[in-house]
Structure 1
Amino acid sequence: MLLTKHALQALVTHGLAVNKNNVVQVDVSSIGLRLDNQFTVYDPYEGEPFIPPKAMPSTMKTISQNDFFVLPPGGSVLACTEEYITMPNDKFGLIQTKGSIARGFISVHMSDGQVDPGYKGKVTLELVNMSSFYYKLVPGMPIASLFIINTDQSVEPYDGRYQSSSGPTAMK
């Protein structure tokens, strides 16, 4: 069952999503997620083809809250949510690109748009610009929506390699 505004607001009040401003946007059927100021860019790679995941050289860039990151046409970057998520063990999250961003042909995830039960941390976003435009990515801008679904029972909490992420995490 998809949770709606009142249930989402109760979860936010109990700490499901927290950001530095302590203001989390709750919509009719989702929680609004904002872009953080951290970006991970993979270094140029001229090596042999490989099967992912593989640890790849990357550079972490942190920009000021008043600055922006340029995402060129065809460009990609790992970013993360400003919100720290604490997903209960009986809930599952799905992330979708905000409509206004998607209509500009930017995707916030390639296919890893879920938040597992028990996950705690910022959510890494795989931003891809599929347009012919240059975009400014500004910290704090609305970037995605988090939809919460009840599971049929409480499950073992997520205990994977991305638990407790505080920034965008590259392939490990």
Structure 2
Amino acid sequence: MLKSDTWIKEQANAGMIQPFVADLVRRVSNPQGEWQRVLSFGLSSAGYDIRLSDREFKVFRRIPGAPPINPKRFDSRVLEDMPLMTGEDGQYFILPANSLALAHSVESFAMPDDVVGVTTCKSTYIRSGVNIPITILEPGWKGVLTLEIANPTPCDVIVFPNEGIAQVLFFTTDSVPEVTYATRKEGPGKYQSQAQKIVLPMV
């Protein structure tokens, strides 16, 4: 069952989402004390809009002569750090045309054992050509969410940190799973307890 804002607020106050914003924020005060529109973040009717961190934003780049990317032996040299820039609409990163970036959320999560989270892209970004593939927050998982942000268009796109980047929907399972992400036989899942940084592929 998809969970409502009332349930999300109760669970967030118990530690499921940190930091937690109990309202949907659409405007913030800039350094000059003026109100500025932002891509909304915080609690919505049946989901939570998470923010993009300003700490890291890495874009895949082709290395001449390099072999194909191997998920089992990932070479981080294919990732280029993009600079944090400032313009009239605030701080931003550039997501180049036909590229994929890795980043992470401001928020950390501690998923209850009977709850699954599903990320969806914000409509404002998807209408600007930016897509965020679905990521599953499994029962028992905790940590900061690594995000994949795709720009399949022929145009560069501006992406704003510390503003909304994706929405997480929360669903309860019909019972507590026999095995959660935290209680797997071989130990917790490999992406358990992700810190405030991009976590690269692991096998």
Amino acid at match of 1:17: I
Letter matched to residue 160 of structure 1? G
Given the superposition, is the C-alpha separation of residues 57 and 51 from structure 1 closer, same or farther in structure 2, using an over 3 Å criterion?
closer
User: CA distance change for structure 1 residues 120 and 64 in 2, over 3 Å: closer, same or farther?
Assistant: farther
Task: Kindly provide the amino acid, as one letter, of the partner of residue 200 in structure 2.
Answer: A
- Provide the residue aligned with 2:26 in structure 1: none
**Cα distance per residue 1:11-51 (max 9 Å; x no partner):** 111111113xx425111111111101122344533333365
Structure number with the bigger relative contact order (C-alpha 8 A, sep ≥ 6) is: 1
Question: What does residue 71 of structure 1 align with?
Answer: 95
Residue identity matched to 2:68:
P
Q: CA shift at 1:103, angstroms?
A: 1.0
Q: TM-score, normalised by structure 1?
A: 0.86
Asked whether the equivalents of residues 116 and 170 of structure 2 are also in contact (C-alpha less than 8 Å), the reply is yes
SS, match of residue 44 in structure 2:
coil
Query: What percentage of aligned pairs have identical amino acids?
Result: 24
| Residue aligned with 2:193, SS | coil
Cα distance per residue 1:135-157 (max 9 Å; x no partner): 22221121100000101222333
Correspondences of 1:116-131 after superposition (within 5 Å): 116-131=138-153
Q: Give the partner amino acid of 1:44.
A: R
Residue in 1 that maps onto 2:58: 40
Deviation, 1:108, is 1.5
Q: What amino acid is the match of 1:83? A: E
Runs of 4+ in 1 over 6 A off after TM superposition: none
- Contact preservation (8 Å) 1:40, 1:170: no
Aligned to 1:3: 3
Rounded Cα–Cα distance in structure 2 between residues aligned with 1:127 and 1:40: 10
SS state at 1:170 partner? coil
**TM-score normalised according to structure 2 size:** 0.74
Deviates more, 1:119-128 or 1:133-142: 133-142
Cα distance in 1 between the residues matched to 2:122 and 2:132: 9
* 1:55 corresponds to 2:43: no
Match in the other structure for 2:194? 165
- Cα distance in 2 for partners of 1:48, 1:60 equals 17
Instruction: Write the mapping of 1:7-156 to structure 2, written as runs, cut at 5 A.
Output: 7-19=7-19, 22-23=20-21, 25-37=42-54, 38-42=56-60, 44-45=62-63, 46-49=65-68, 51-58=70-77, 59=79, 61=81, 63=84, 67-109=91-133, 111=134, 113-155=135-177, 156=179
Q: Secondary structure in 2 aligned to 1:6?
A: helix
Moved more, 56-65 or 121-130: 56-65
Residues in 1 aligned to 2:47 and 2:200: alpha-carbon distance in whole angstroms: 26
The aligned counterpart of 2:33 is none
